[in-house]
Structure 1
Amino acid sequence: MNDTLTPVGGRPAWLGSTLDYRQDGLWQLSPAELAEIDAALATLKEHGELDLTEITPATFPLHTVGDFLSRLRDELWAGRGFVLIRGLSRERYGDDDLARIYCGLGAHLGDIVPQSGNGEILGHVLNVADLVDEQVRGYRSAQSMNMHSDGHDVVSLLCLRGAKAGGASRIASAAAVHDRMVETRPDLARVLYDGMPVMRGQMDAERGDGKIVTSDNVALFAKTDGVFSSCVHVAQTRDAARAGHFEITPEQEAALDLFCELAASPEFYLDMSFAPGDIQFLNNRLIVHGRTPYQDHEDVSLRRHLMRLWVNIPSWPRRPANQQDIYSMADLPLWARFRTPFMEMPERYIAEATMKQHARAGA
């Protein structure tokens, strides 16, 4: 790292208080694009009952929309770092067909990768905290979620159903937070360039490369050849300190606190309300995201339900070496061994959750 810290600036370093995502970040699918997506779904079904992993640009062909997704890659990489696509009809498509369309779009964007030691390539963001006995991760509850990054290059969410109230997607530019820290507290910005260890989930580690804690410090801020990249896992860093894997210093605590304070302030964050059928794409190297708390329906089949993809973009440069340890490419084929065909289909997922709910109600 150079001794002189410099701001990122430009379109990636936006402030949520000055931005309207409906004017700068929203893509409304045209009738022609929707017709092309519909035709691609019909072509896919001509191949028979294909698993989600078998959905490729060849089995789900797109031309006009495929060109748009190529431009989307550029906007995610060097623009605002986020895009919201609107226009898919919830009346026309069932949940499983929307999952197929979603994976088809993701396959044109890049390589869809597993998200955990369970091997799933399609995740479900749904409140099931009352249906299981163990403590659940934040995305499986109705609580707020603090600002963080997800794995690999791009995280995407498709809204199947909204909440009764609340549950806005909250995003912020990590580049803008970086620039403010460089301006006001360069000493703490430098601490985040040095990084800290990150603790991973036990199952993900055991089913992957075996590392519970990263071998080296993971840099929250990095620049390679002038290209900025963030990697923000504050909770998992503090988990590593609490578990005794390293002794966190007052300066490190202060740097993490300042990042969280800025990212969660109204000046920096941008709230996006999802409508059913909306698809959000975020560049994990530029954007941190969280969620406001929400009120949900009692019936699990009516609850707020988002589907999630993680996508790697082969044309993008790989992350800096001091950010790669937490996103081990070696994990991906190891995690994939635990996936079973069709395990992520949303209609099956909701049916199983409904059975659990009925069983608990009858117990």
Structure 2
Amino acid sequence: MTDLAHLTPVGGRTAWLGSTFNYRDDGLWQLSADELADIDRALTALKSRGDLDLVDITPEVFPLRTIGGLITRLREELWAGRGFVLIRGLDRDAYSDDDLARIYCGLGVHLGEIIPQSGNGEILGHVMNVADRVGGPVRGYRTAQSMNMHSDGHDVVSLLCLREAKTGGASRIASAAAVHDRMLEMDPELTRVLYQGMPIMRSAHDAERGDGRIVTAGDVALFAKPDGKFASCVHVAQTRDAARAGYFDVTPQQEAALDLFCELSASPEFYLDMNIAPGDIQFLNNRLIVHGRTPYEDHEEIERRRHLLRLWVNVPTWPRRAPNQQDIYSMDDLPHWAQHRRPFMEMPTRYLAGIG
């Protein structure tokens, strides 16, 4: 059990308030002409090898010579700085959708290890509203609805914008460390509850195609400080799903702790809304940042709709999560999920053709 006497604020640049700064001044990185030329050369080198699948892109086949320093700085800022970066400068009109996917994966493999995102095995996700084009229920990122604050799996989640919405659809992010510090100030006991954690329910599809566990074996800590380094793991909706399904009895104190986290992270004092323009690439550290989305209005034509590509990246040089935050992110899932991937399935042209 976490001792209240050992709970201390995180502080520093990691615990930022969205209301206190402009991300365009502190968080937006503009690619230089040399860095853009380096990316273009790497794409040319990659395509000279023929039509390689995205899983075959490696640092060797997508060689970067100039931009390596930026990748190193990005990794450091995500780990020990604000926990987010928006990279701007790619000319959206200079590349096809498929070439942008190749560039995106090429940058991703220099940052770390690109991993599957679901039981379908996809390494490149498509975030767009297709709820009216596919049968049955769909996950929130495949609708135009708002999304509540949460974390994604593993180390880094990233988005590259191909097309913007007609209106709305801002990326909303907040520092989980800042929320932690305010909760500690307001109610240390409720903060302690989140250090203890609760079970999390996974999607049946991902569980069946992974290690088979629909609910985590133990409690997953929303807050942890392994070796003194703060890390969050926020899946409030899935925790409440587990309680509704009868996997555990949520206590009034646990509900109050979840409510307070949600209230603070969704307040204008804490969050900032980031407009990701075509060609922009956003990177978030899942241990430090929670993210959501504002609702949006889309175009009717599928080829004009808001369309973002998504990567999940593990960074091998980062320490692994604390044991009480690893249960939901089972590394055992990944090879099982990968077996369900089909070659070239994530290429944007192929993806759109499949739902158009």
**Partner residue in 2 for 1:360:** none
Distance 2:124 2:284 in 1: 16
Distance 1:92 1:63 in 2: 21
Distance 1:345 1:296 in 2: 22
Equivalent position to 1:317, from 316, 319, 322: 319
Q: TM-score, normalised to structure 2's length?
A: 0.99
Distance 1:287 1:107 in 2: 22
**Partner residue in 2 for 1:137:** 139
Whichever residue aligns with residue 110 of structure 1, its letter is G
Cα deviation per residue 1:19-45 (whole Å; 9 max; x = unaligned)? 211000011011111011000000001
Distance 1:141 1:307 in 2: 15
Cα shift at 1:3: 3.5
Whichever residue aligns with residue 315 of structure 1, its letter is T
Whichever residue aligns with residue 116 of structure 1, its letter is S
Distance 2:80 2:201 in 1: 30
Q: How does 1:9-28 map to 2 (within 5 A)?
A: 9-28=11-30
**Partner residue in 2 for 1:6:** 8
Are the counterparts in 1 of residues 232 and 287 from structure 2 also a CA contact under 8 Å? yes
The 3-state SS of whatever aligns with 1:84 is: strand
**Partner residue in 2 for 1:146:** 148
Distance 1:123 1:312 in 2: 15
Distance 2:210 2:336 in 1: 5
Q: How does 1:91-102 map to 2 (within 5 A)?
A: 91-102=93-104
Whichever residue aligns with residue 129 of structure 1, its letter is A
Structure 1 spans left out of the alignment, 5+ residues: 355-363
Q: How does 1:81-160 map to 2 (within 5 A)?
A: 81-160=83-162
**Partner residue in 1 for 2:306:** 304
Distance 1:135 1:283 in 2: 29
The 3-state SS of whatever aligns with 1:155 is: strand
Cα shift at 1:224: 1.0
**Partner residue in 2 for 1:359:** none
Distance 1:26 1:72 in 2: 11
> Considering only aligned residues, what root-mean-square deviation do their CA atoms show, in Å?
0.6
Whichever residue aligns with residue 232 of structure 2, its letter is S
Equivalent position to 1:338, from 337, 340, 347: 340
Cα shift at 1:2: 4.3
Q: How does 1:211-226 map to 2 (within 5 A)?
A: 211-226=213-228
Cα shift at 1:90: 1.2
Cα shift at 1:63: 2.1
Cα shift at 1:133: 2.3
Cα deviation per residue 1:170-225 (whole Å; 9 max; x = unaligned)? 00000000000011110100000000000000010011010000000000000011
Distance 1:35 1:288 in 2: 33
Distance 2:106 2:154 in 1: 19
Are the counterparts in 1 of residues 4 and 192 from structure 2 also a CA contact under 8 Å? no
Q: How does 1:185-264 map to 2 (within 5 A)?
A: 185-264=187-266
**Partner residue in 2 for 1:34:** 36
Distance 1:222 1:254 in 2: 19
Distance 2:39 2:189 in 1: 50
Distance 1:196 1:273 in 2: 33
**Partner residue in 2 for 1:292:** 294
**Partner residue in 2 for 1:265:** 267
Distance 1:287 1:240 in 2: 23
Distance 2:240 2:67 in 1: 42
Distance 1:2 1:159 in 2: 44
Structure 2 spans left out of the alignment, 5+ residues: none
**Partner residue in 2 for 1:180:** 182
Cα shift at 1:136: 0.8
Q: TM-score, normalised to structure 1's length?
A: 0.97
Cα shift at 1:66: 1.8
Distance 1:250 1:199 in 2: 19
Distance 1:93 1:66 in 2: 22
Distance 2:98 2:193 in 1: 45
Distance 1:28 1:204 in 2: 37
**Partner residue in 2 for 1:57:** 59
- Identical counterparts, % of pairs: 75
